[in-house]
């Protein structure tokens, strides 16, 4: 599983004699076997403690033995042969080519470096976990477990080893679907139909550190975790001990149904510290169904760049609450633009389901699939309206163009009152490479109010308070007018190297 090394989540397939160590998911579990019992404290009140013990209520620890006995036959160890032709991934140092017989050749072999006469990709073995979901042998695991693999084999609970093929993978949710090649009637488990609550007991089963089938237990610690691993993060956080090698293994509820697919851990050492992450069953079910039917996942696409609505942005747009997804840019010829959605709109609902922020919007739109029509509720100019959007197909790769080199020596003009914000502006038309629209942030004080709001040297301000700007004075005028109108902030539409976004600049910055 991936392990979040102290600061970040990590995924991991536990490598055995592999050419590299891949800390990926978080689904391994050190053998614990259950939950420790609770001691019964018997106070001495001067009478018979034996009599007290007989009449006092006892607290018994929960046992998951029946559930484990029912489900463990469906949990498998996944072993893959991986091929890596990357110099960096093989940790091969940049050393000169050696002739046969060179004295240094023996030195490099002695200390574990590869034979320099070898050419071509290197191979290794890695391990993870998985679980069977149908009698004919379909198996769920993590994408990172089987990524770059050339051969996949599964070790069943009864000790048999069988070959498997990869039906499909989805990197965005880190899921993969395999199929056992040999026919048979395999033990299998089902996904849960209901999401677990925070505090519910869960049981993790997997193959930690390549040890084989291991069971641990804990509770659901949190829901809806975003660990920065992808655009659709919505993880369950569990405290059942999981470690490297449990990636792709199942997390069960007390009824023996799969509530999550273990995929990452947070750990400073690579071992369990009680913070593991699992893909929820409701997400996994839809992805696995698509992989089964089509071998891939096609997601809906609306074509907008979005950002959260902060309290300052909500105030500047006269919104009642800091909720929704702010459209910083509607991409040209994309479904949103075709439907009339534009920058500055705030998306608050899709098909009547409330949207609290960008993550909810991304997941919601993706779940519909392409070519579906959805009703998108937006707030514009203080009013609410509904827009019908026909979704497109999510492009595989979307990249922001690198920022051009800018000449910051020309045409500087702070404009009225902008020195209070710690920035110097210049018309974009006077700064090479900045285009002809907007004004460029030519200089910014790293300790000033503008920098604190995220403005950086080279950013281009395209709009202020919903109006296009071409001179620094336009920005200053927008701030002055907002101050007279009693508004706390002005919304600036800003283009940077990464994307277009909105920045709420206070009308009365602290001096």
Quick one: pLDDT at residue 226? 80
Q: What is the pLDDT of residue 415?
A: 44
Question: Rounded to the nearest 5°, which phi and psi values hold at 500?
Answer: -100, 135
Q: Which two tokens stand for residue 240?
A: 């059942």
The pLDDT value recorded for residue 2 is 59
Position 400 scores a pLDDT of 30
Question: Is the CA virtual torsion 152, 240, 273, 4 positive or negative?
Answer: positive
Task: Decide: 475 and 425 in contact? Cβ < 8 Å.
Answer: yes
Model pLDDT, residue 484: 83
Any bridge partners for residue 69, and if so which?
Answer: none
Structural contact between residues 366 and 359, judged by C-beta atoms closer than 8 angstroms: no
Phi, psi (deg, nearest 5) at residue 208: -65, 130
Domains (ranges, CATH) in the chain?
A: 1-36+60-85+120-297 (2.40.10.120), 300-393 (2.30.42.10), 418-506 (2.30.42.10)
- Residue from 83, 78, 74, 95 nearest 12 by CA: 78
Q: What would the DSSP string read from start to end of 183-236?
A: --------B-SSPPPTT-EEEEEE-GGG---EEEEEEEEEEEE--SSSTT--EE
Residue 216 CB neighbour total at 10 angstroms: 29
R_g over Cα of the chain: 29
Which of 331, 357, 330, 355 has the alpha carbon at shortest distance from 341?
A: 330
**Is 247 annotated in the active site?**
yes
Two structure tokens written together for 53: 């013990």
- Which residue of the set 174, 239, 459, 474 is catalytic? 174
Which of these is catalytic: 14, 129, 247, 477?
Answer: 247
pLDDT digit string (tens) for 4-41? 544 445 555 444 433 323 333 433 332 333 333 333 33
pLDDT digits 0-9 by tens, 55-104: 445 556 678 999 999 999 999 999 998 876 554 444 444 445 555 555 55
What are the φ and ψ backbone dihedral angles of 293, each rounded to 5 degrees? -80, -35
Backbone torsion region of residue 480, taken as left when φ is above 0, otherwise alpha when ψ lies between -120 and 50, otherwise beta? alpha
Nearest-angstrom CA–CA distance, 136 and 179: 8
pLDDT for position 269? 67
- Residue 483 has what pLDDT? 84
Query: So what's the pLDDT on residue 499?
Result: 76
* Tokens at 260, concatenated: 């999550």
Which position has the token pair 């790769």? 397
Q: Annotated catalytic, 144? A: yes
Segments of the chain scoring below 70 in pLDDT: 1-61, 84-122, 229-230, 267, 269-270, 396-417, 498, 510-511
- Could you count the other beta carbons within 10 Å of the beta carbon of residue 446? 10
Cα angle 104-108-109, degrees, rounded to a multiple of 5: 115
Say how far apart CA 425 and CA 474 lie, in whole Å: 11
- Distance, in Å, from the CA atom of 196 to the CA atom of 189, rounded to the nearest integer, reads 17
For residue 400, count other CB atoms closer than 10 A to its CB: 11
Of 12, 14, 77, 144, catalytic: 144
d(CA 231, CA 226): 9
Q: Any catalytic annotation for residue 174?
A: yes
């Amino acid at each position: 599983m991936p392990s979040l090394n102290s600061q970040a989540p990590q995924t991991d397939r536990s490598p055995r004699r592999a050419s590299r160590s891949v800390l990926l998911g978080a689904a391994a579990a050190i053998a614990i076997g259950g939950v420790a019992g609770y001691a019964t404290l018997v106070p001495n009140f001067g009478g018979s403690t034996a009599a007290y013990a007989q009449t006092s209520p006892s607290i018994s620890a929960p046992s998951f033995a029946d559930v484990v006995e029912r489900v463990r036959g469906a949990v498998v160890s996944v072993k893959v042969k991986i091929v890596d032709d990357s110099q960096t991934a093989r940790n091969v140092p940049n050393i000169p080519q050696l002739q046969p017989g060179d004295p240094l050749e023996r030195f490099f072999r002695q200390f574990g470096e590869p034979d320099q006469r070898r050419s071509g990709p290197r191979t290794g073995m890695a391990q993870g976990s998985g679980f069977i979901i149908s009698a004919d042998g379909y198996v769920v695991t993590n994408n990172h477990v089987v990524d770059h693999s050339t051969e996949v084999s599964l070790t069943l609970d009864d000790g048999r080893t069988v070959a498997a093929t990869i039906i499909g993978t989805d990197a965005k949710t880190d899921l993969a679907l395999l199929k056992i090649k040999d026919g048979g009637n395999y033990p299998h488990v089902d996904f849960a139909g209901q999401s677990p609550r925070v505090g519910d007991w869960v049981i993790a089963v997997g193959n930690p550190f390549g040890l084989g089938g291991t069971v641990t237990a804990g509770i659901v610690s949190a829901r809806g975790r975003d660990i920065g691993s992808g655009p659709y993060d919505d993880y369950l956080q569990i405290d059942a001990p999981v470690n490297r090698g449990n990636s792709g293994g199942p997390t069960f509820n007390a009824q023996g149904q799969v509530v999550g697919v273990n995929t990452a851990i947070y750990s400073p050492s690579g071992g369990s510290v009680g913070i593991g992450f699992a893909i929820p069953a409701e997400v996994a079910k839809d992805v696995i169904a698509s992989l089964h039917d089509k071998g891939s996942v096609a997601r809906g696409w609306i074509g907008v760049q979005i950002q959260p609505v902060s309290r300052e942005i909500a105030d500047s747009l006269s919104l009642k609450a800091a909720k929704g997804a702010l459209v910083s840019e509607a991409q040209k010829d994309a479904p949103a633009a075709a439907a009339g959605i534009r920058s500055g709109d705030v998306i608050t609902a899709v098909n009547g389901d409330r949207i609290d922020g960008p993550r909810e919007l991304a997941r919601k739109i993706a779940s519909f699939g392409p070519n579906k029509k959805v009703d998108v509720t937006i707030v514009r100019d203080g009013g609410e309206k509904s827009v019908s959007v026909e979704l497109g197909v999510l492009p595989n790769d979307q990249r922001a163009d690198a920022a051009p080199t800018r000449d910051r020596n020309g045409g500087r003009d702070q404009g009225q009152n902008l020195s209070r914000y710690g920035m110097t502006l210049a018309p974009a038309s006077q700064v090479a490479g900045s285009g002809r629209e907007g004004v460029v942030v030519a200089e910014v004080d790293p300790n000033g109010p503008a920098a604190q709001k995220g403005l950086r040297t080279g950013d281009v301000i395209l709009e202020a308070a919903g109006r296009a700007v071409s001179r620094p004075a336009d920005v200053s005028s927008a701030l002055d007018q907002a101050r007279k109108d009693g508004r706390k902030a002005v919304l600036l539409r800003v283009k940077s190297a990464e994307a277009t976004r909105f920045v709420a600049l206070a009308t009365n910055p602290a001096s």
